[in-house]
Homo-oligomer: A and B are copies of this chain.
């Protein structure tokens, strides 16, 4: 049976995350409903990974298996016609039978947006964490250098993720200021439960002078979640891109 892969972008504001749940609306459920409706048979969608309630995606990659007479270049338009305006798929392709969007990923990039301004902005309120206090960006950038590389990131992991190992590689961590918006782009080989949001919460403690940049070394070494910063809120986070082998 042919395997299809596609990219999906979603505004996560109104969903309880990506992965199907009982009694709560999720992106996976809505995707499966739309694709099943177009192909007129029950379809299971597998994604590259979960995203939490309220987290967004621009480049989530998913697969499904199906026999269909619809040409692959017409599938996106057909499926989009059944999706709400906050979920859009694109770039549907035929994939190798053994392609798996999670296990074949070489690296993933997440972006966290902070609105560092005196006043909220109604147009990005759902896509950025409003943080109206002074931040020392250079201090945060220095701290980021200590996070890059292969480390046991247990200190940046919420309980309940169920990962066998908490060792991950962060390939790059950029902090860019664009007027009142701060973009934090993290690229790694994989991420623990809430890892990006805890990294951001820790960077905010550094930017607001509550921790020193080089405290990061000891926090990572401690493997102690309690020494890191709080989990930054979900609305600032977007799964940006996945690169495959």
Contact = CB atoms under 8 A, between A and B. Distances in A.
B123 A127 contact: yes
Interface string A94-125: 00000000000000000000000011111101
A5 to B, nearest CB: 16
A150 interface: no
Taken together, the copies of this chain in the complex come to 2
Most chain B CB within 10 A, of A56, A89, A122, is at A122
Interface string A24-49: 00000000000000000000000000
Contact of A119 (B76, B86, B118, B120): B76
Contacts of A85: 120, 122, 125
A85 B127 CA distance: 12
A227 interface: no
A205 interface: no
A78 to B, nearest CB: 12
A127 to B, nearest CB: 7
A80 B122 contact: no
Contacts of A119: 76, 80, 88-90
Contacts of A86: 122, 125
A129 interface: no
26 contacts: A9-B121, A9-B122, A9-B123, A10-B122, A11-B122, A11-B123, A11-B125, A56-B123, A58-B123, A76-B118, A76-B119, A77-B118, A80-B119, A80-B120, A85-B125, A86-B122, A86-B125, A87-B122, A88-B119, A88-B120, A88-B121, A88-B122, A89-B119, A90-B118, A90-B119, A123-B127
Given A11-B122, A80-B120, A85-B120, 8 more contacts: A9-B122, A9-B123, A76-B119, A77-B118, A87-B122, A88-B119, A88-B122, A123-B127
Across the A-B interface, give the 8 residue pairs with the lowest CB-CB distance, nearest first.
A11-B122, A86-B122, A85-B125, A88-B120, A90-B119, A88-B122, A88-B119, A9-B122
